[in-house]
Amino acid sequence: METWWRALTFTLGYNTSVVTLGAMLLAAGAGMVGTFVLLRKRALVSDAISHATLPGLALAFILVGLTTGDGRYLPALLLGAAASAAIGLWAVQSISDHTRLGEDAAIGAVLSTFFAVGVVLITVIQSMAVVGQSGLTGYLVGATAGMLASEAKLIAACALGLLAAVLVLRRQLLLVCFDADFARTQGLDTGRLDLVLLLLLMAVVVIGLKVTGLILIVALTIIPPVAARFWTDQPMRMVALAALLGALSGYLGVTLSSVREGLPTGPLIVLSAFGLFMVSFLFSPRRGVLASLLAYRRLRRRVHLRQGLLALAREEPIFDDLTLTLLCRRGHIRRDGVATSAGLAAARDADHEERLWALYRERYPDDALHREHAGLVPIHEVLSPDAIMALETQLLGRREVVR
């Protein structure tokens, strides 16, 4: 617990602090790029990219290992990973472009094939006399514990570049995500922008290999944006929020993993992100489960109360328990079901309002359509006094005609 606190406050030593910051920047970048990828409805592409890094990673390890005796040279490994990820991306793209298969099928095929090749290469490595083999598993599930400060700085620098690129391109990317046809009429090369977005995604995956590992990096590009969606309806805020939530998960995950030797970083970051997602999912005031549950209950009570009052006004019997309870609690009826004088007055009001709403719906059908729950809320909360007066006059006129 105390170690975690020291990690959280950046007092566990220079190395841990640099690694934490690097991971946070990476996760922020992943959240931003992930938001655009998600809005472009291509979230699964990152899964294909990440699995396609393994063969390149393993090959680079073999080549570096054969020349220097130790395969753990981060820049070379990242380059190898990027190269094979690019080949994987190209494969996905050409399968979905030139065949009748959809992108999802192409992703599934490429993902598994590349991963299989990577696993075979890893068994080859295990039979070789090269130092640093244990370091390779770190690329599967992430390991920041043994990370050098220089490696962390490389990751941080790349992540910063990524953030800058997204910042510059944010408006174009947004336009392509929302309405690609319109973007093209504005003179944007949407094909190239899609490619740029995929390259950014590839950069996230490759940089993140050492931090979360290749299996779990996909979570960092999907979970923070999805969680951010619960809190806002504005596109740029969603991007910023996804970056923030990503950085927060990176912070929590890396500091947690520094508590004890051998704790895998990737799963801890992903679990932190999932925790933030659950909080958003449950407690967001806009789209959260709790909020919509409460709103549903409020609406149901309102409908029951309304129906009860209208039944009182029309002197119809009431059988529903909830309606009776609600009416009784508000003093509209006595325990034995007989209406009080206050209840009768309220019932007359409700009946009158119902007539006003009915008239409103009849006169202005289009407007009524756009008002939420028109007829359930008191009419003076929605319409202006003038509009209500006009309706009252019309209602009065109509009644006289009937007489």
Partner 1 sequence: MPDDARLDKAILASPLAIHGLTVSYDHRPVVHSVDFVTPPGSMSAIIGPNGAGKSSLLKAALGITRRLTGDVRVFGRPYAQMTRHVAYVPQRNSVDWDFPARVIDVVVMGLFRDLRWWQFGGRGQRRRAMQALTRVGMEAFAERQIGQLSGGQQQRVFLARALVQEADLTILDEPFAGVDAATETAIVEVLKSLRDEGRTLLCVHHDLATVRDYFDHVLLLNVRRIAAGPVDQAFTEANLQATYGGRLSSVQLARLVEPALAAREH
Q: Which of 178, 322, 331, 348 binds partner 1 (CB under 8 A)?
A: 178
By CB under 8 A, is residue 97 in contact with partner 1? no
Which one of 12-20, 124-132, 225-233, 298-306 is the stretch in contact with partner 1 (CB under 8 A)? 225-233
**Tokens, residue 311:** 């039944």
d(C-alpha 371, C-alpha 287), whole Å: 20
C-beta of 233: minimal distance to partner 1 in Å?
4
**Tokens, residue 111:** 């993902």
DSSP state letters, 100-146: S--HHHHHHHHHHHHHHHHHHHHHHHHTS--BTTHHHHHHHH---TT
Q: Which of 1, 129, 338, 369 binds partner 1 (CB under 8 A)?
A: 369
By CB under 8 A, is residue 229 in contact with partner 1? yes
By CB under 8 A, is residue 182 in contact with partner 1? yes
3 state SS of 158: helix
Closer residue to partner 1 (CB): 216 or 238: 238
C-beta of 207: minimal distance to partner 1 in Å?
23
Closer residue to partner 1 (CB): 188 or 318: 188
Closer residue to partner 1 (CB): 120 or 289: 289
Instruction: Please give the residues from 247 up to 306 whose contact with partner 1 meets the rule CB under 8 A.
Output: none
d(C-alpha 83, C-alpha 52), whole Å: 9
CA-based Rg of the chain, rounded to a whole angstrom? 30
Size of the site for partner 1 (CB under 8 A): 28
DSSP state letters, 57-73: HHHHHHHHHHHHSB---
> Position of tokens 């640099």?
18
Q: Which of 317, 370, 402, 403 binds partner 1 (CB under 8 A)?
A: 370
Closer residue to partner 1 (CB): 229 or 332: 229
Q: Which of 39, 197, 245, 273 binds partner 1 (CB under 8 A)?
A: 39
**Tokens, residue 230:** 């619960």
Which one of 146-154, 195-203, 229-237, 299-307 is the stretch in contact with partner 1 (CB under 8 A)? 229-237
Asked whether the beta carbons of 298 and 240 are under 8 A apart, the reply is no
Residues 6+ apart with CB under 8 A from 158: 26, 203, 207
By CB under 8 A, is residue 96 in contact with partner 1? no
By CB under 8 A, is residue 238 in contact with partner 1? yes
- Break the chain down into helix, strand, coil percent, rounded to 5: 80, 0, 20
DSSP tag of 339:
B
By CB under 8 A, is residue 113 in contact with partner 1? no
Closer residue to partner 1 (CB): 251 or 360: 360
Q: Which of 97, 104, 179, 320 binds partner 1 (CB under 8 A)?
A: 179
CA nearest neighbour of 228 among 49, 46, 39, 41: 39
By CB under 8 A, is residue 168 in contact with partner 1? yes
By CB under 8 A, is residue 169 in contact with partner 1? yes
Residue type at 93? Q
Asked whether the beta carbons of 67 and 130 are under 8 A apart, the reply is no
CA nearest neighbour of 58 among 112, 122, 117, 116: 122
Closer residue to partner 1 (CB): 171 or 380: 171
Q: Which of 153, 170, 361, 371 binds partner 1 (CB under 8 A)?
A: 170
C-beta of 183: minimal distance to partner 1 in Å?
9
Q: Which of 15, 232, 307, 394 binds partner 1 (CB under 8 A)?
A: 232
d(C-alpha 281, C-alpha 273), whole Å: 12
Class of residue 297 by CB neighbours under 10 A (exposed 0-12, middle 13-18, buried 19+): exposed
Letters for 323-352 (x = contact with partner 1 by CB under 8 A, - = none) are ------------------------------
By CB under 8 A, is residue 371 in contact with partner 1? no
Closer residue to partner 1 (CB): 32 or 214: 32
Q: Which of 175, 279, 291, 388 binds partner 1 (CB under 8 A)?
A: 175
d(C-alpha 230, C-alpha 279), whole Å: 10
d(C-alpha 174, C-alpha 239), whole Å: 10
d(C-alpha 212, C-alpha 207), whole Å: 10
Which one of 101-109, 147-155, 184-192, 354-362 is the stretch in contact with partner 1 (CB under 8 A)? 184-192
Binding site for partner 1 (CB under 8 A): 39, 41, 167-172, 174-175, 177-179, 181-182, 184-187, 229, 232-235, 238, 366, 369-370
